[in-house]
Chains A and B, each alone.
Chain A
Amino acid sequence: MIYREAGDFKASYRADGQTFPLRLDRTAYWALLAVAFLVVPFVITDYWATSVLVPFLIYAIAALGLNILVGYTGQVSLGTGGFMAVGAYATYKLTTMFPDVSILIHVVLAGGVTALVGMLFGLPSLRIKGFYLAVSTLAAQFFLIWLFNKVPWFYNYSASGQITMPERTVFGVLVTGPSTSAPAKYLVCLGFAVILAWLARNLTRGTSGRKWMAIRDMDIAAEIIGVNPLTAKLTSFAVSSFMIGIAGALFFAVYLGAAEASESFGINKSFLILFMVIIGGLGSVFGSFAGAAFMVLLPVLLKNVLVGGMGWPTDLAAHIELMIVGALIVFFLIVEPHGLAQLWRLTKEKLRLWPFPH
């Protein structure tokens, strides 16, 4: 009744291959974007921005990046935290060295720097696979964090070893620093998230995406049909790290304001983002957003219920949260290895026929 494709005729290949083939989906998508850009900035409060929406958008960008590597190319990485740190420190160095250049350009450049670093650490993937690769990406994680802690040049010789974001403006509006308004933070992150999601969607359905998926499904077979594993794997590492770097840059510049490498970008961050990708759905752009939303909302919800509602001590609630997250991961892998994205797909399939069973 609600969700029908009858009468939605395609007259060209282009129309047939679009991201949202159904008119209803398209309308919903544009409506969502309109609400996100035109309504939310006027009603957003500081609490919603700092504890829900801004982290959600930033983590969604990171999850998108990791999803390209893990979900589309099949190369498991546990070094996400380290790459986010590269993005953060690159932004910091760039913006303190060239204060006059727009922060938006710096964030993109930081993504580029992270892409280079990611390609460097992606080189071993040509020789080693599977678990060996997953573990060797931990080398990136630990080495990068150590580097940012030990080399004073990276944090401009500050006494505390922290990096602190100076105030920067975009079109005269403050976007970083402690006195930034909630709508400004939100809009910057939203802009990046939308552009990168659009980029990811179009890359993954084009030639490069098909090459990545061929490598994921079976690398030897892909090589035989003419996919160059060197370029496919390295472009995947580059694109993935680019997005993760931007996420790290925004995480530091817009969300945290001040960061310390091992605290903000430790191994736990790597796992958190990997969980978002698994729970959201491997190999799905929508899944990256769904997974990020889930993992950002869950702690907020649990905190409100356990600490606020039932009055339990915070440390106990934190442990229960660990248990619930762990159990949910296992549960998802058992019930639906393709994550929330697959559940969404199944729901849509069901809706097409509803109210009839077949």
Chain B
Amino acid sequence: MEQLLYVAELVMNGLMTGVMYALVALGFVLIFKASGVFNYSQGVLALFAALTLVGIQNGQIPFAHLINAMFGTNLHSFGWTVPSVLAILLTAGVMVLLALAIEKLVLRHLVGQEPIILFMATIGLAYFLEGFGDVMWGADVKTLDVGLPQGISDTAEAWTAQLTGYGFFIDRLDIWAAIVATALVAALVAFSQFTKQGRAMRAVADDHQAALSVGISLQFIWIMVWSIAGFVALVAGIMWGTKSGVQFSLSLIALKALPVLMLGGFTSIPGAIVGGLIIGVGEKLFEFFVGPMIGGATETWFAYVLALIFLVFRPQGLFGERIIERV
């Protein structure tokens, strides 16, 4: 009984982690659906957003390190702090600017290239943004606090203890992440189904040329999609940054989101969520049951191997569109 409840707790925590993975995967799906670009830099976007948020909050001077090195000055910060809400809004603004720049400088010149070339371009973009973020805000580990509740949830523990006689440990931040992710998905679905821009976005995803011929501006849609992806990255960055600090390893969550995508299918928003949950729960259970037998720390590869085996049987993922090939 005790073990069963422990497994139940594990599943709960796995689900919460899965939501966090899904948050990152969402950004991938959005861009892939709308522009056919497999955006490897999504994880670095989240890192960049989190860095910018912390920087603005603490009133850091951008590029201080670089300026100091070039002119021998000793600048560090403006000496003010910005309230969280304002800082988040400003960061969202920065992400929109970034989307504009990416469209203008990169995507526009790569229209009509093969998908794999675009994919490699986003790897280059990821390297650039990583260096850029570090040069702009410094590479030291920062703590991010926007007022989200953290720590073990007493309510959940008391409630489950009353119900089953065994208190579950659930991080409050994870609960919040689940709520935010649900809200975000609902908002995105509503946006793409019920607004004019959302319909245009789906049209572009369906067929670039047909969308162009009915008068939809591809450039505008791409900027919009990258801005939304930047916003999703910001949310993911806030969640992960609060959880484990803002540092380079934050960008590696992109690598965790990839198997989620493969499992759920690159083109499906529900797929990203379901895939995230499966992988979140799966890796926790595998580590618990099989991990001790083979040396532990299986989390680094379990998700990939699961997705790989799964793909052999269903190459388009769970909810992906059927791949039809013509000669």
A residues bordering B, Cβ < 8 Å? 74, 76, 124, 127-132, 134-136, 138-139, 142-143, 145-146, 149-151, 218, 220-221, 224, 267, 271, 274-275, 278, 312-313, 315-316, 319-330, 333-334, 337
Contact = CB atoms under 8 A, between A and B. Distances in A.
Interface residues of B, number: 52
A327 B120 CA distance: 12
Interface string B303-327: 0110110011001010000000111
Given A128-B311, A150-B297, A326-B127, A319 B304 contact: no
A151 B293 CA distance: 12
B163 interface: no
Contact of B258 (A135, A312, A324): A135
Contacts of A218: 327
Given A330-B106, A334-B106, A138 B304 contact: yes
Nearest to B134: A319
Contact of B311 (A132, A150, A274, A316): A132
Given A132-B262, A334-B106, A326 B128 contact: yes
Contacts of A127: 311-312, 315
Contacts of A278: 120
B255 A323 contact: no
8 contacts: A76-B119, A136-B304, A146-B297, A220-B326, A267-B255, A319-B135, A333-B117, A334-B109
A80 B247 CA distance: 26
A321 B135 CA distance: 10
B129 A326 contact: yes
A35 B200 CA distance: 62
A135 B120 CA distance: 13
Contacts of A124: 308, 311-312
* Among A74, A278, A316, A330, residue most surrounded by chain B Cβ atoms (within 10 Å): A330
Contacts, number: 140
A333 B130 contact: no
Given A316-B66, A333-B117, A136 B135 contact: no
Given A129-B315, A316-B66, A333-B110, 8 more contacts: A76-B116, A76-B119, A136-B262, A146-B300, A275-B123, A319-B134, A322-B131, A330-B121
A337 B129 CA distance: 21
A56 B245 CA distance: 37
A325 B127 contact: yes
Nearest to A121: B308
The 7 closest A-B pairs by CB, nearest first: A329-B124, A326-B128, A322-B131, A326-B127, A139-B304, A323-B131, A150-B295
A326 B297 contact: no
* Among A74, A320, A323, residue most surrounded by chain B Cβ atoms (within 10 Å): A323
Contacts of A221: 327
Given A146-B298, A274-B120, A136 B131 contact: no
A128 B312 contact: yes
Given A136-B307, A146-B300, A150-B297, A320 B135 contact: yes
A326 B307 CA distance: 29
A203 to B, nearest CB: 22
